[in-house]
Chain A
Amino acid sequence: MITVKNLTKYYGPRAAIRDLNFEVAKGEILGFLGPNGAGKTTTMRILTGYMPPTSGTATVAGYNVFTHSIEARRHVGYLPESVPLYTEMEVADYLRFMAKIRGVPGRNQGARVDYVMQALNLTHVRDRIIGKLSKGYRQRVGIAQALVADPDVLILDEPTIGLDPKQIIETRNLIRGLAGDHTVILSTHILPEVSATCQRVLIINDGEIAAEDTPENLTRRLRGAETLQVEVRGPREAVVGQLRALPHVMDVTVAGGADGTNTYTVACALGHDLREQLAATVVGQGWGLLELRPVRLSLEEIFLEIITEENESADELVEA
């Protein structure tokens, strides 16, 4: 449904994105993840036909977004990050206007507007002025206008920003429900969102794709070192010493200072499962093995890890 080849965009001498390549299959939900200024919005703006790329091609629903822009745009619904709306208009009037310019035939406009208002729970505010609505409602009006023409492709830039937790869950369910009929690209910097909604994640950093996989695979692939967490009852120093002595162990850290029951974090080289050896060692020493489990990194950590690997200024990133 979406094919991106060698996509590059320069703003003056600065490259916003460099040589992006990816594909999105019909009905798939793809998550764009990356810090501010990574090129997420630029990529989305090219896909929606807002601006042309410097080089490379992008096709949406079989149409080149540059050479056949109007045809491509007919298949795309778009929610920009800032959720721009005509604040002086009433909700239903606004959606009707968007339906018109998005090419919904006259006889279907009323039904489509009613449908999206119902889907986004806006029916009771249909006659309210958009400027007087809360941020959450405005966000929903923004999503409603993206959906109003029933597009094949939905491009949502930070769709859940500014919503309360209940609305976030509702919106995620809505987006998940769109998969199958619609192809969705959403960008976010809220990581749980990706694992909650997306089937595939594309991490963009500094204008390039840093990683691309399913949320689960990404977690697996990026563990880098296998990490085990062990809870042991025994003398602290001796336990650390014994664990360090095991083959392939790279590092051992302890939470808690006193002897007795402590939690040890053991990092070992990739591809070596030390659980059996570790358990045998602890039990062999006559200490109590209370817990032993592999640690999976959360997406949040992966995200930071990917970015910091490529970017030396890790501090900047945490702030972003």
Chain B
Amino acid sequence: MGNIWAIAQRELRSYFVSPVAYAVGALFVLISSVLFALILNQAQTASIQPLFANFAVIFLFVVPGLTMRLLAEEQRTGTLELLLTAPVRDYELVFGKFLGVLLLLLILLAITLVYPAVIMLAGNPDRGPIAAAYLGVILQGAAFLAIGLFASSLTQNQIIAFLLAFVILLLLWLADGLSQMTGGRIGDLFRFLSITRHFDDFPRGVIDTRHIVYFVSVIAAALFFTVQSVQARRWR
């Protein structure tokens, strides 16, 4: 646990000394603020649910930007060699990286608490669904991050890591549409994989165990494959 925390801490701090965290963070706040303003203006109701429905789209661009360097950069500069020869287990390294970027995402999400605060000033929204929506957004964000981390483990090139993560996330995001298009068994599979289908209940205030299991499984699978990918690197 000490190793995981040490790696997570270092990772988080390094985001704040590089321009990446600020650039991606600014992008995140900008897009979500614009969306928030548009939604408020059109709906004219003190409701925040439509904003959360759009978080998947924002994450689609922001998350690969946050995760692309995690392992790719360490491979390019060779610092991975020092981590892999330290008495640190491969899973500790992967968990530490994941925890580091997850903490950054939580910081970014903390900024968005401004939106519900604004709404509460203007009206009296139901707090339950907002809390549930945040749980959903965090689970969804964590799943995206884990997939991004996996993409970053496959290459030394940050741009490739970004694109790879983006494509995987895009497919998961479009899976619902694909399931309607194909139908049948394959359609069922796509529906099962669909991020949106598993997310949509949260902003409605419904916390369904199946959806939580889905996101936790995605996180576990992506982290598992990342550990495998780091281990495979040793055999080359």
Q: Which residues of A contact B (CB under 8 A)?
A: 11, 45, 48-52, 70-71, 73-74, 76, 78, 80, 82, 84-89, 97-98, 100-103, 145
B87 lies within 8 A of A102 (CB)? yes
Q: Chain B interface secondary structure, helix, strand, loop or mixed?
A: helix
CB contact between A101 and one of B18, B80, B83, B234 (< 8 Å): that residue: B83
Closest to B3 in A: A101
Across the A-B interface, the 5 shortest Cβ-Cβ residue pairs: A84-B78, A48-B85, A100-B6, A84-B79, A73-B87
B81 within 8 A of A: yes
Contacts A51-B235, A101-B6: A86 and B78 contacting too (C-beta < 8 A)?
A: no
Contacts A73-B87, A101-B86, A103-B87: A88 and B18 contacting too (C-beta < 8 A)?
A: yes
B10 within 8 A of A: yes
A84 lies within 8 A of B85 (CB)? no
Q: How far is the CB of A91 from chain B (nearest CB, A)?
A: 14
Residue among B6, B85, B88 having the largest count of chain A Cβ atoms under 10 Å: B85
- CB within 8 Å of A: which B75-134 residues: 77-89
Which residues in A have their C-beta under 8 angstroms from that of B81?
45, 50, 78, 80, 84
A102 lies within 8 A of B86 (CB)? yes
Which residues in B have their C-beta under 8 angstroms from that of A97?
6, 10
Which residues in A have their C-beta under 8 angstroms from that of B79?
84-86
A and B contact pairs by CB, cutoff 8 A, 12 listed: A45-B81, A49-B85, A51-B234, A52-B235, A71-B87, A76-B85, A78-B82, A78-B85, A80-B78, A88-B14, A89-B10, A145-B82
Which residues in A have their C-beta under 8 angstroms from that of B77?
84, 87
- CB within 8 Å of A: which B1-39 residues: 2-3, 6-7, 10, 14, 17-18
Which residues in B have their C-beta under 8 angstroms from that of A49?
84-85
Closest to B79 in A: A84
B85 lies within 8 A of A50 (CB)? yes
Closest to A47 in B: B85
Q: Which residues of B contact A (CB under 8 A)?
A: 2-3, 6-7, 10, 14, 17-18, 77-89, 234-236
Residue among B10, B17, B80, B89 having the largest count of chain A Cβ atoms under 10 Å: B10
Q: How far is the CB of B227 from chain A (nearest CB, A)?
A: 15
Q: How far is the CB of B8 from chain A (nearest CB, A)?
A: 11
Closest to B17 in A: A88
Closest to B81 in A: A80
Which residues in B have their C-beta under 8 angstroms from that of A103?
87
Closest to A142 in B: B82
Give CA–CA (A71, B11) in the complex, Å: 25
Give CA–CA (A85, B74) in the complex, Å: 9
Q: How far is the CB of B13 from chain A (nearest CB, A)?
A: 8
B14 lies within 8 A of A86 (CB)? yes
Closest to B86 in A: A101
Residue among A52, A76, A84, A85 having the largest count of chain B Cβ atoms under 10 Å: A84
Which residues in B have their C-beta under 8 angstroms from that of A84?
77-82
CB contact between A74 and one of B78, B80, B87, B234 (< 8 Å): that residue: B87
Closest to A54 in B: B235
Q: How far is the CB of B89 from chain A (nearest CB, A)?
A: 7
Closest to A48 in B: B85
Which residues in B have their C-beta under 8 angstroms from that of A74?
87
Give CA–CA (A97, B234) in the complex, Å: 23
B14 lies within 8 A of A101 (CB)? no
B88 lies within 8 A of A101 (CB)? yes
Given contacts A74-B87, A82-B78, A89-B10, 10 further A-B contacts (CB under 8 A): A11-B236, A49-B84, A50-B234, A51-B236, A73-B87, A80-B81, A84-B79, A88-B14, A89-B14, A101-B88
B7 lies within 8 A of A101 (CB)? yes
Give CA–CA (A86, B3) in the complex, Å: 17
Contacts A80-B78, A82-B78: A52 and B14 contacting too (C-beta < 8 A)?
A: no
Closest to B10 in A: A97
Closest to A85 in B: B79
